[in-house]
Structure 1
Amino acid sequence: MDFFFVEYRDPLVGLIILTILIFVVAVANYAWKAFANKDEEQKLEKFIKKFEIDNAHKDLLRNERLSFGNLSFLADIFTKSGEFEKATQIYLIALEKSKDKNEQEFIFIALANIYFKAGFLERAKEVLLQALKLRPRNIEALKLLKIVYLKLKAYKENLEILECLFELGEDVEKEQEFIKALNLQTLNLSDEEKKEKLLELQIKNNPMLGRLVFEKYHLFIEQNFNHIYDLLYKEKKALNLQNEEFLEFFYALGFIQEDKIPNHFVFQNSNFKMFKILRDNSFKTRLEFSYRCMECKNIMPLFFYHCPMCYEFNTCKIICEVKNDEMC
């Protein structure tokens, strides 16, 4: 028996066996990489063909002299001019020519933005999922996919994306609670059951969720005045008069008699003060509201929970103006 194992006590034999094992592993790894790359190329080719449109200028654009930078620049020009179809085809050709993962990732994001702007949400979703296969921690792709899912009303998938963003250090806790509230609206429950489940969410210090609760179910749970006073303008009676901002607002609207106002009362909001003075002097006036995104500074005529321009959450500021109203 000792004779049978004598070769294994020789360091040279052990070294040879180790070398053979390393060689076998390296060959196997090389073969696997070759197979994986071939499979990846086939999938990419299939993806390109899926979105490709016949174009007479394809051969010209496939010219080797046109670099990735040239094609990207050309596609960007078409995107800015609104010619999304041409931009899409150029990006697909660039994707076909590119072997670099970073370039492919850039193209996927650019394509997703084009499809999103053009309203092809399903295509945008598919392209973004391709981008995330290349780099799962791509925050830009995750944020855009979050908005795509929101527009598709795929709230469960949206919550999964928000969970990923949370793990990457993004501040999305309030948005998560808001999306949970939207998801509740889709469930086959009675209004009372929906209210109960809504009140279980973290509404405190979440102005957008608080507004949604007041807007949908007229539930007042100490919401911040500055986030709902355009909704209060439609109210038929005053509420929460213990709060000075609510008191001032409803007094300006004429819901509170003079003898109910404290002697020390002074208007803090100049618009409300002007509205009160003009109404008391029989001028026909109204309050008019607009909405500014505090992130991108765009002004919208309607309230938004997610900005329709930059898609950021909880950036809406209500702007109030006193206007002449001849229809009163």
Structure 2
Amino acid sequence: MEQILPAYNDPLFSILLIIIISLIIALATYGWGLYRQQKEQGNLLKFLDKFESTECALDTTDMPFEPHMLKPLTLLAKAFENSGEYHKSINIYLYLIKNISDDLGKLELMERLGNTYLHAGFLERARSIYAEILRKKPRNIKVLYELGVVYEMMHKYDKAKEVIEPLEMLGEETHALTKFLELSEIKSSKTISIEEKVKKLHKILDAEPTLYREIVNTMLQLDTRVAWEIIDPKRLKEVMDILWFLPNSQLDLDTITSNTQLNTLYYAKGYLQKPIVESGIFSLDMLATARKSGFEQGDLLFSYLCKKCKQSFPVSFRRCPNCMAINSVEVEEKIAKSSPKTDYSLL
């Protein structure tokens, strides 16, 4: 009886075997990828379920989704956010994230959701959203910045500083941000003495002059005498509102009377009697001129422009409330009729 042996040395058999193995690997890879995708989708849905809110005014439970709805609903969510109706905006973003299939689109919508939570003051929720985005796309520079803002607002400055390293690795210039965080940490510290805070603030100002306005304001709260030593009349425009609202008890008359710009400011304010009109700031000189002519009911009103996003706000800010930029505030003033005077500052 003749024994039949497999033709292992047959080239056709070898090719067939390679094809079969390749098909098995391809099917296994496809199946594993499909499983991972379904698992990832399930994990995302579980993650988003944590943010469901019964307080949302829009009921999207039974709303059918069509791809053409993405753009108008996104615009509607943004409109709700801009008008302060954050709960409606959040509900729409959650609905869209759960229904669209595009992974990049999901991440973009999750970032918008995180921004909405941030502006609404839900810091822990914003942190969770940003952390989830970075888990999927760790090189997202914008989200890294936003996560740092969240940690800063939570006064977790060590965590905020941890975000700086990956930003530097991605080629970002972080010197100003680093000094800004150092300043914020010093201001909020309950353990550092006033003398030590003053020394540290001097060093920060030397290293980062763009923080001048914030450091002057902080110094005036810590040590008025030292604060007047760092006030630069050439940069009067940057801190004019801060000096305008200072109470009499915090004025340094020796410094003021020895400088024409400061002298003009406080003559226009009504604190000094000797008329001087030499500040170089149009509205301030106009007010001083009016007072010199006998009109004493003038005052200055201030608004605050973000130099980055060009949004204007009625109160000063450390970070722009709209774009979260640092060192972007520009003081704008206009002459107005004075209201009943007080001797205390709101700053």
What is the TM-score of this pair, normalised by structure 2? 0.70
Separation of aligned partners in 2, 1:307 and 1:191? 28
Matching residue of 1:237: 252
2:261 is aligned with what amino acid? E
User: What is the aligned-residue identity percentage?
Assistant: 25
- Select the residue among 190, 206, 215 that pairs with 1:210: 215
Alignment of 1:93-104 (within 5 A): 93-104=95-106
Q: Which moved more, 1:139-148 or 1:236-245?
A: 236-245
Structure 2 gap segments, 5+ residues each:
1-10, 342-347
CA distances 1:242-275 after superposition (whole Å, capped 9, x unpaired): 665345435655777869x8xxx95533333333
Q: 1:209 to 1:26 in 2, by over 3 A?
A: farther
1:49 is aligned with what amino acid? D
Match of 1:51, SS state, is coil
1:221 is aligned with what amino acid? I
Separation of aligned partners in 2, 1:181 and 1:247? 30
Compute the displacement of 1:51 (Å): 2.0
Matching residue of 1:221: 230
1:273 aligns with 2:285: yes
Separation of aligned partners in 1, 2:111 and 2:37? 22
Compute the displacement of 1:155 (Å): 2.5
Alignment of 1:19-98 (within 5 A): 33=33, 36-53=36-53, 57-61=60-64, 63=65, 66-67=66-67, 69-81=68-80, 84-98=86-100
CA distances 1:112-144 after superposition (whole Å, capped 9, x unpaired): 133234332221221121122222222332333
Match of 1:206, SS state, is helix
1:249 aligns with 2:278: no
CA distances 1:2-37 after superposition (whole Å, capped 9, x unpaired): xxxxxxxxxx9xx99xx89x9799899778756654
Separation of aligned partners in 2, 1:99 and 1:60? 17
Compute the displacement of 1:39 (Å): 4.3
Contact 2:210 2:327 in 1 (8 A): no
Q: 1:191 to 1:127 in 2, by over 3 A?
A: same
1:58 is aligned with what amino acid? T
Compute the displacement of 1:181 (Å): 1.2
2:239 is aligned with what amino acid? I
Separation of aligned partners in 2, 1:45 and 1:326? 56
Contact 2:304 2:331 in 1 (8 A): yes
Contact 1:71 1:94 in 2 (8 A): yes
Q: Which moved more, 1:225-234 or 1:269-278?
A: 269-278
Separation of aligned partners in 2, 1:120 and 1:279? 48
Matched residues, number: 305
Matching residue of 2:153: 151
Matching residue of 2:117: 115
Q: 1:242 to 1:44 in 2, by over 3 A?
A: same
Q: 1:115 to 1:248 in 2, by over 3 A?
A: same
Match of 1:291, SS state, is strand
